[in-house]
Structure formats: structure tokens, C-alpha cells
Amino acid sequence: MSNKPPKGGRRLYLDGVSVVFDGFRALNNLSLIVEPGELRSVIGPNGAGKTTMMDVITGKTRPTAGTINFGEVDLTRLDEAAIANLGIGRKFQKPTVFDALTVFENMELALKAPRGPLACLRWALTGEAKTRIDSTLEETGLLDRAQDLAGILSHGQRQWLEIGMLLMQDPELLLVDEPVAGMTDAETEQTASLLVRIAGKRSVVVVEHDLEFVRALGRRVTVLHEGSVLSEGSIDHVQNDQRVIEVYLGR
């Protein structure tokens, strides 16, 4: 809210997207717009299509019908690697950090991976890399753990490390799948603040079941049901929507 939308940021636009698996419609004419810099929560009952929605944005699954644009780019024409290179990052529920490396080393790897050896050399020479890693660790609350092995971090800290690793790629859109599952209340609160902090400079879409967390994010919420948008608005709006109560909250 206080953050300005990123300059030149691209809008994510899903229009009439359907995914059919063996006759079953996992997504059914789904339309959704995420503005540059927006932080959007996506909730909905099991099987509503939340994961499939992330899969079609990142190119893991091809839509059967509909269009998906990121700015002017038609994502349905690109493969997963090209979509990632475009600046769309995804955090899966299970963290994939290297336990035997330090927090700092994990961050270094995240920085090096796609940039190639020459780029690494340039980073090393300028010291820019260290500065960027340190500022990202500060942003994720892990600066004082930089020299600890990732394996000794708490569950929450490991999730933040992975978010930090994704931030090293400087994504324009970050998709985050159930970030607070298994976290303590304090970790959940800190994760909400972290996501609020990192949105604005980039768009963030969070799929989550924990409604207190979604409330703490305090932004627009989309409720999916049977592969379509059932309701959209503030958390108060969707929690008071009779259709949402019937299919999701009232269970």
C-alpha cells in the first residue's frame, strides 16, 4: 500500500483459463488480474484449483483453453525455463535449501545458478554480490544466521531462506505456495510482514489455507472454487460472502 508499483512492472492476466484432466475441469474459465506490485492471497477448499493455477502460470501445465499474459508476453507459448527467466519465481511448500551449506552459501548458489561463470566473476570482483546477499538476508531476518548451516535453522527460518534465495533472482512476480504451513504463530506473523515488505517492488501471489495469516497480509483475497473465482475482495468481504461460507468456511 505504501509501496509504489514497480516501474515498468507487468500485470499478470489470466483470461478464461481452463485445464481439463481426463474430462475433469481443474480450472474452469478462470479469469484473474494481478497488478504490478500487488500482494494477492488465493484461498479455497481442497481441489479448488489453486495449485493448478500456479502450474499454468509457471508453464508446468498447459491450459486447455484461455490466455495467460504477463505484460505483453503470452506465457502459454513459453516453457517453464523461459517463464522463470522472464522473472516469474515460484516457492513450493517444501523448502529446497542445502542443509550442509551455510545460509550465506545457499544464497550465493541462488545468485550464481542462472547467471553463468563470467557473471559470477564480475560479482565477485565488485563485491556487489556480498552486498546484495547481506541486504536480502537482512530483509528476510536471517543476517545474524549467515554463517550457520541451513540444516540447523528452524522450519520457519528455512522457509525465509528459500524466499531469500528466490529474491536473489530479483523476480518481478513471486508465487508462494502455503508458506506458513507448520510454522509457529510468531513465525507466521513474521512471514506476513516479510511478504508485505517484499511486495510492492514485485507482485506476490500467495496460496494459503491459514485465514489468520491471510488477514495479517491485509490485501485483496481471491477465493477459488471448482476452478473458478467464487469471490474476490478484502478478507472481511470474502469471509462474509454467503457463497464462500457455504463451500469453504462453513465446513
Q: Determine the Cα–Cα distance for residues 60 and 88; give it in Å rounded to an integer.
A: 12
155-180: b or e for each residue (b if 16 or more CB lie within 10 Å)? Answer: ebbbbbbbbbbbbbbebbbbbbbbbb
Cβ at position 21, least distance to ligand ATP in Å:
3
With residue 230 as reference, give the H or E element that holds it.
strand 228-233
Q: Determine the Cα–Cα distance for residues 210 and 196; give it in Å rounded to an integer.
A: 16
Q: Which of 12, 14, 17, 26 binds ligand ATP (CB under 6 A)?
A: 26
Based on the shown chain and the rule CB under 6 A, indicate whether residue 46 belongs to the binding site for ligand ATP.
yes
Q: Are strands 173-177 and 203-207 parallel, antiparallel or unpaired?
A: parallel
- Closer to ligand ATP by CB, 19 or 111: give it: 19
Q: Which of 36, 37, 44, 171 binds ligand ATP (CB under 6 A)?
A: 44
Structure letter (DSSP) for residue 249: I
Q: Which of 4, 16, 21, 131 binds ligand ATP (CB under 6 A)?
A: 21
Q: Are strands 65-70 and 203-207 parallel, antiparallel or unpaired?
A: unpaired
- Closer to ligand ATP by CB, 92 or 113: give it: 92
Q: Determine the Cα–Cα distance for residues 9 and 234; give it in Å rounded to an integer.
A: 23
3-class state of residue 85 by DSSP? helix
Q: Which of 49, 63, 164, 179 binds ligand ATP (CB under 6 A)?
A: 49
Structure letter (DSSP) for residue 245: I
Output Rg (C-alpha) for the chain, integer angstroms.
Answer: 18
Q: Under rule CB under 6 A, how many of the chain's residues touch ligand ATP?
A: 11
Q: Which of 47, 71, 87, 218 binds ligand ATP (CB under 6 A)?
A: 47
**Type of residue numbered 129:** A
Cβ at position 209, least distance to ligand ATP in Å:
7
- Closer to ligand ATP by CB, 107 or 206: give it: 206
Based on the shown chain and the rule CB under 6 A, indicate whether residue 92 belongs to the binding site for ligand ATP.
no
- Closer to ligand ATP by CB, 47 or 87: give it: 47
Site track for ligand ATP across 180-199, x = CB under 6 A: --------------------
Cβ at position 22, least distance to ligand ATP in Å:
6
Q: Determine the Cα–Cα distance for residues 74 and 80; give it in Å rounded to an integer.
A: 13
- Closer to ligand ATP by CB, 32 or 111: give it: 32
Q: Determine the Cα–Cα distance for residues 142 and 93; give it in Å rounded to an integer.
A: 19
Cβ at position 24, least distance to ligand ATP in Å:
6
Query: Candidates 20-28, 101-109, 160-168, 194-202 — which segment interacts with ligand ATP by CB under 6 A?
Result: 20-28
Q: Determine the Cα–Cα distance for residues 160 and 230; give it in Å rounded to an integer.
A: 31
Based on the shown chain and the rule CB under 6 A, indicate whether residue 52 belongs to the binding site for ligand ATP.
yes
Where does this chain bind ligand ATP (CB under 6 A)? 21, 24, 26, 44, 46-52
